[in-house]
Chain A
Amino acid sequence: MTDKTGGAKVALEEVRFSYGEMRMHFDLSVPAAQIAAIIGPSGSGKSTLLNLIAGFETPQSGTIHIGHMNVTRTPPAERPVSMVFQENNLFAHLDVEANIALGRSPKLKLTAADRAAVESAIARVGLAGKEKRKPQALSGGEKQRVAIARALVRNRPVLLLDEAFASLGPALRIQMLDLIKALHAETAMTVLMVTHHPEDALHLDAALIFLENGVVAASGSASDLLSDKGPEALKRYMGTTA
């Protein structure tokens, strides 16, 4: 069950977008199979960046490439990405199995292969035995596991996590990060995650992208950027400068 999808490169070139007063300008590239953590103060454009990649927002100018495909105008469903939100990932009236199966067929018409994929995904995120539960009978962490399982069955090379673990406790968060790490090792997908915890990036040994005022203020390996030699703006954000 190791569909080694392999990641895809995500590249934004001269992408301009404005949201109300806020003007954003993104120019960045995340190599295939890389894990990148996006951090920055609130309102710096983190979620918007993911929305642009996922196709929920359309840039005013510039291009977005995923792999070799120009997706600037591609509808969300046709983009090779999956996204997990902080909440509302699950439909309250559908059980775990159905919520995951949606990733294979939005109409819930499943082939035998689909069923097998769903079953395996449930096992991989550690939810075996809870297939028939409704979301209300799940803990916060379990709900997010379901969402990740759905991303798995979708088999897309890019996974976007929009503060997906923000409402979980520290231990649970680490568990989820470990899950991501393991899945990443298995599938080699490209992961972009928005987080308020820079240490997540360290934990995942990820690249770090630091946004400020709608532009990429710094990027590089997490261990470099978060060290004493890191840029001033990042230190201000971290609260490590006096």
Chain B
Amino acid sequence: MIATGTRTFHFEPKMVAGAIALAFLMLLAGGALFSLGFEASRDTNAAFAGFDAYLWRVARFTLWQALLSTVLSVGLALPVARALHAHQHFMGRAFVFRLFALPLALPALVAVLGITSIYGRNGLIAHASQSLGFGFIPDIYGISGILLAHVFFNLPLAVRFMLVGLDSIPADYWKLSAQLGMGGGTRFRLIEWPAIARNLPGIMGLIFMLCVTSFTIVLTLGGGPRATTLEVAIYQALAFDFDIGRAVALTLTQLTLTLAILSLFRLTGRPTEEGFSLAVTTRRYEKFGAGERLVNTAIILLALFFVALPLAGTVVSGLAADLGRLMSERVVWRAISTSLVLGATAAFVSVLLSLALVAGREAVAANRKAGIKRSLVGIGSLFERALDTGASLILVVPPIIIGAGWFILLRHFGDPFGFAPWMVISVNAAMAMPFAVQILRPTWDTASARHNRLCAQLGITGWTRLRVVDWPVLRRPLGVAFAFAMALSLGDLGTIALFGSDAVQTLPYLLLQRMGSYRTLDAAGLALILGVLSLGLMMLADRGSKRAEPAESMR
């Protein structure tokens, strides 16, 4: 029997796990901010300069470019996701998917150089136009370059997340659409948009946060100091002016502004009523006309070129490097193994904590739906919200702030450099969590809704449930989340740069080092190695999880 009479708040282990995961994030960010705040308050001449005109401008620009980047990324991702979903079977579809995970794994600098190799003044387009006799030289330095780079990073991400939404559409809808003869526009309005809109606030929030904290891209491609983000100001305050108080105040400003925008997204993108069954299938029943087929093909090809060209630029310049010599260098191998070990550990921690977060949120939500005592509703929904969006806010706490804060704290407990690997793992794990959560949540929530009652009735709990019921379903998204988190960590530079001790030399660190001492070719070669590692990871994740896919699609 399922309890229906008196409803009490059930504290389940899942909620405790979720709380622990949340506590980890809060401790990581809060501890650093607290430590810095304390340090600043001890410093007598930390006269915190008010919010002057410069900062107003910086804050405005930060939000403006991030909003624009988000809208563009999401807007352009829509047709791509639709086209990719409409055509479930074509040669190279899997490759497109893996490729789309790659930009995120690239350090910003590598991506910037990849983009200039295509759209730059000396890039492919400039050369092509010149050899064809046009005098056209693209000028990307300015807002256009920033947007280009942000879309390059985030469009593939948005496409991947939107496809998850599209996959949740029941097959009957596609049949209905085919039978009623819906055109592209109607199909979008009635079927696809509602499915995508459910996840849209989450997707937009994630992309927005990534763009808010953009640093290298904004400065390098921005064309001048008019393009300055709060992240730059924070870096300047902490690293150049050594004004800790100001750095903390700016970080809090960034957090507040982001939070405000995120709630705005939530308002506009109110989740539509759920009316979907749980049967998930990726079959499409429409017979697309030649016109639509052509348009879809064009869209997919365009998106593919857009993402692949800068990557190809990276590969081409990487191949010019003396790869043989690079691969025979001990430091390179050490950097590769350090990167892999740190990345894998961070990814493992990240996925584990994300799972705890997702499970905790679902448990709280399930409790709420069951109708608990009124007094607890407030706390419950607040907790649910914290588990939901609160976690992703970690993205807008600059790694340099976390690093510096913990550096000051850890100093009291021993050599801060001794903690460096653990800090790198913690920060990378935390930064990858919002992504892992987005990947894990839909499957977890669906699976729970499907299995909770059954398991309760059969008395399948704890470890057994995880092994027998959840693992087979979660294996695939877990693999994808792991690969994503690891790729993200592989490309991370921010955290390591601060602790920057020789003890932790990762691949991107080595790359920037070589670049900083004229070894541009070496750097290009290392970028190629990094890219190949990430792509390999994606393929492994796909292959590893495919084996576990249940053959339930057979009827």
Contact = CB atoms under 8 A, between A and B. Distances in A.
Contacts of A88: 170, 172-173, 176, 276-277
Contacts of A90: 275
A106 B182 contact: yes
Count chain A CB atoms within 10 A of each CB in B172, B176, B179, B555 and give the residue with the most: B179
Contacts of A91: 173, 190-191, 194, 275
Contact of A77 (B179, B191, B273): B179
Given A19-B555, A92-B194, A135-B275, A102 B180 contact: yes
Nearest to B288: A75
A135 B273 CA distance: 10
A78 interface: yes
A19 B186 CA distance: 30
B273 to A, nearest CB: 5
Interface residues of A, number: 34
Nearest to B176: A89
A51 B275 CA distance: 23
Given A56-B178, A81-B179, A89 B273 contact: no
A203 to B, nearest CB: 25
A56 B177 CA distance: 11
A87 interface: yes
A157 to B, nearest CB: 14
A133 to B, nearest CB: 12
Contact of A54 (B175, B191, B554): B175
Q: Is the interface of A mostly helix, strand, loop or mixed?
A: loop
A43 B555 contact: yes
A63 interface: no
Contacts of A79: 179
A54 B277 CA distance: 22
Given A19-B555, A87-B277, A106-B183, A75 B178 contact: yes
Contacts of B186: 106-108
B185 A76 contact: no
Contacts of B337: none
A160 B294 CA distance: 32
B427 to A, nearest CB: 41
A55 B277 CA distance: 23
Contacts of B194: 91-93
Residue with the highest number of chain B CB atoms closer than 10 Å, among A47, A79, A88, A108: A88
A47 B177 CA distance: 18
A55 B178 contact: yes
B285 interface: yes
B36 to A, nearest CB: 47
Contacts of A83: 175, 179
B369 interface: no
Interface string A130-149: 00001110000000000000
Interface string B138-175: 00000000000000000000000000000000101101
B544 interface: no
Contact of A20 (B178, B181, B286, B554): B554
A29 B80 CA distance: 43
Nearest to A88: B172
20 contacts: A19-B555, A56-B175, A56-B178, A76-B287, A78-B181, A79-B179, A81-B179, A83-B179, A87-B172, A89-B172, A90-B275, A91-B190, A92-B275, A93-B194, A94-B190, A102-B180, A103-B180, A106-B181, A106-B186, A106-B190
Interface of A: 19-20, 43, 47, 51, 54-56, 75-79, 81-83, 85, 87-94, 102-103, 106-108, 134-136, 154
Q: Which 7 A-B pairs have the closest CB atoms?
A: A92-B275, A77-B181, A88-B172, A76-B178, A106-B182, A56-B285, A75-B287
Given A87-B172, A91-B191, A106-B180, 18 more contacts: A19-B554, A75-B178, A75-B287, A76-B287, A78-B181, A83-B179, A88-B176, A91-B173, A92-B194, A92-B273, A92-B276, A93-B194, A93-B275, A103-B180, A106-B183, A106-B186, A107-B183, A134-B273
